[in-house]
Amino acid sequence: METTEKKHNYSRKREAILRAVRSTTCHPTAEWVYRTLKPEYPDLSFGTVYRNLLQFKTEGTIVSVGTVNGQERYDGNIKPHTHFICSRCGAVLDVPGDFLNSRAAGETAAKMGLTVTSCEVFLRGICDKCCQKDG
């Protein structure tokens, strides 16, 4: 019975971790997920959050936006889209629009003998909030 309870509790935490990542557009870090869920799950460990994020990433349930300011950032939106990363504050923003002609990219890759399985476009610069601080 104890094993079943632990397994159920683990599943609830796992679901909560995935829900936390999918419920925000801030492209959270493992630390953000941990701090967000800790009040609801006092026995939650950072290791549990990190291991589950890694597993979700491996499964393709979430994606990694990469490391920004020393911390890996995650996205629950797994549909292809462009990100903007602010070089000052580290904000990661979703950018609407198609910045890559996937057909042209596929044709170029084929000419080079490459098989493309995914493509990511990142825009980098200074976000509007940081620009306003300058002004």
Domains of the chain are 1-76 (1.10.10.10), 80-135 (3.30.1490.190)
Per-residue pLDDT reduced to its tens digit, 30-87: 999 999 999 999 999 999 999 999 999 999 999 999 999 999 999 999 988 899 999 9
Per-residue pLDDT reduced to its tens digit, 34-48: 999 999 999 999 999
The distance of Cα 34 from the centroid of its chain, to the nearest Å, equals: 14
How many CB atoms are located within 10 Å of the residue 71 CB?
12
Give CA separation, 66 vs 37, 41, 42, 94, in Å: 22, 27, 28, 14
User: Are the beta carbons of 108 and 92 closer than 8 angstroms?
Assistant: no
User: Are the beta carbons of 74 and 27 closer than 8 angstroms?
Assistant: yes
Q: Please indicate, yes or no, whether the overall pTM of this predicted structure exceeds 0.85.
A: no
